[in-house]
Structure 1
């Protein structure tokens, strides 16, 4: 008498396991690059600095969401290819961070010296060490970009997977570059235009951080148009909420936890939704305080306290919290209406909570 086979349940999606698996692949890849550089007599500092940046305390948000998108779209079986693609996203992110820090003249990243500062420190005896650090960091970022392609192609995707994944990556990269360009144009010219700030956040962060990684994982699983559309409708508002939360952390977070100086966005003259909201109601002296540090002179501890008081007093902080919750509800409403399997919905709800915290 034969027994009916009972399908095994899909394994529980574990972001920590995904992070660990991605880090293993990145470590193996960078170790091999370091050995090759040594064999060819290339400077060890190139791979040293990239290893410190990539393997040091990253949250692996994009790789985790890539695998989440794959699982949510029904991906199962061998995770090797999707994990290699996910690792390529983290390498691409390293490229973006290195160049972003050069453009912003940021001294730190994740609580450590940024890439250009780390390189300059290795040549402290040279009178042009600072310039060398900036120039070398551009090359370092370019190398990370090239290596992200190498990791992607090492996944050895099938023809259909490769075509679909490449289309998503091409869109993501183009959007990020335009988002960065919009950010450059607005830097040093903060205003009360919330829509403009959100447009920058959408292309520089929301699509790149959440929407596109989810879509990338989904196409690797062979997702149909309906699933891809649902993931996009879920990911975009969630990505905007993530950036709005990051804006709040930049202004009110503890530098020892965020890895960034207090009020760094104000020092850099960034046009954020938080600042735009505050400028709508700020008085003359308050406006001067909010916009007075955009020439690169960092506010001191006393000024940071005053800035935070203005952001609170104008209602900007509370309004941004409302914007975050509106986008959270929008994203979760998509899950309710999309008709995705319950397991997929559970994965994506967990992703939402991880990115922007529990509902308030």
Structure 2
């Protein structure tokens, strides 16, 4: 963890002197001694990348109250500018921590695999195909991100911590893909208004089924309702998994909140799943790259030439370049194509009870 350097001993001395006499900066000054304030790391508490950090806002309030803070204001702004300049220089020169990059990629992939029907339903039953190509392919849908992130999140031992939550990126991709698949798969189901008849219809075929619950709460499924769904449910309280008694299911009931499909229970035989095709990138279902602008001249120049609105707002080209060099380009892309079987057996039992949400 690095500290801001002692730029100028005279300035530092003046800083300490003024800090010790103004008990309002910080307001809990009694918790700080001279040695603590002298530590350059303390400046991080008062200077941030906000347009108007707390210390600046506080000085403005003091000025409005008639106090003469001109010398201190000038000093504080000098420290802020110097600190930012120093941090930018250190950040630009710092290499990416490849362990951090790898951990991020693995988290994204794990999030996708944990939630994707591609791996829990389609692959085990022979309905998943992988395509080893990165070229645009007709009919493929793409989902992902192409955006900037602060570089310090991928630099080792930086003084500002970052929580990336890579798992959420992967799970969001999986959930979006799942919804696309389910909306297509259950676009024209056979509607059966009686629950017992719906369940008997599934059991009579002796096939394996994939059952989906749309916008129906777990508690409703196991409650004692008039349609007696709960009496037919096997509930594993340790995992939360649910399935129907006497029905051959490839996975427990899959719960999804999808506003496109009408609320209720859906079922499809495994033979009628159709085919899901995903693009492989280096034997992985998601293409992920973290590129530092400071290390990639082509990426840097390309972004400077494009001049997106968010970059123009930063200032002139010199300021834009410095800003970009403190960033990374995060690129995450997943491409898939789903083709449902033409003639397929899908059955739908509607649940109209508003309490089931």
TM-score class normalised by the smaller sequence: under 0.3
Q: Which has the higher contact order (CA 8 A, sep 6+)?
A: 2
Higher strand fraction (1 or 2): 2
Q: Give the TM-score normalised by the residue count of structure 2.
A: 0.24
Q: Mark the structure with the bigger radius of gyration.
A: 2
Q: Give the TM-score normalised by the residue count of structure 1.
A: 0.24
